[in-house]
Amino acid sequence: MPPTQNTTPAVEVRRIIRCARKASLATLDSSTHHPYASLVALATEPSGAPVLLLSRLAVHTRNLEADSRASLLIEGSNNIEDPLAGGRVTLIGRVEPTESQAARRRFLAVHPSAAKYADFGDFRFFTLKLEHAHYVGGFGRICSLKPEDVLIDVSAAGELIAAEPEIIAALNHNLAEDVARLGARLSGKEGPWRVSDLDPGGMDLALGLERIRWDFEGEVRDLASAKEALRTALATLR
């Protein structure tokens, strides 16, 4: 069995959000006021806040323009026979437009095919301003979480966020074997794992469409500390 890190509901919620590529978005229908659910592609800001790329032609976007209140259901039970036995989280808040370059960059890193239409006039990036989270970790494991439990503080991480693409490229090029070994140890699956996202609290690894999360023991601020965090992770998993 692949090794795991210590976990809490907050840590598990962060991992579910970071590793997801899609979510169910619930908005309020602007004409009937009934709940309206739709499937959306998902990525995250460095803080862990969800990022969406939506078209103004879509019903859910028109709903959000009239009332920004919304919720996202994100589930992490892809490989579980009984989906209700797996973890999932409902994020509640307001979906608002964002001009963040980090949000755009990270979304397109997860969904590269979206680059074909991301700059069309009717498309825009949005983020969920989290107000409340409801976590279900399986039968009998239920709790509510505050935004500060789910999101990490990146107020002092401006330099790291700006350098994220270069740090990721360096890790994937110079330490490709170490990254692949970490991915294999965490997932139990061999392959050319690569670092897809990095933030002060951890890094996300990807192999095809599969994504896993490794949380750092300490805070990462630059390439040197990212390399040290990777070496520490591998030493921990030996």
- The pLDDT tens digits for 170-207 are 999 999 999 999 999 999 999 999 999 999 999 999 99
Cβ neighbours of residue 191 closer than 8 Å, sequence gap 6 or more? 180, 183, 184, 207, 208
Q: Write out pLDDT tens, residues 114-172.
A: 999 999 999 999 999 999 999 998 878 899 999 999 999 999 888 899 999 999 999 99
pTM tops 0.85: yes
Distance in angstroms (rounded) separating the CA atoms of residues 54 and 64:
10
pLDDT value, residue 1: 40
In this prediction, residue 94 carries a pLDDT of: 98
pLDDT 10s digits, 79-99 = 677 878 789 999 999 999 999
3-state secondary structure of 77: coil
- pLDDT digit string (tens) for 9-53? 999 999 999 999 999 999 999 899 999 999 999 999 999 999 999
For residues 68 and 94, the answer to whether their CB atoms sit within 8 Å is yes
> Any bridge partners for residue 207, and if so which?
210
Structural domains present in the chain: 9-150 (2.30.110.10), 158-236 (3.20.180.10)
Q: Has residue 237 got a pLDDT over 80?
A: no
**C-alpha atoms less than 13 angstroms from C-alpha of 8 in its C-beta half-sphere:** 7
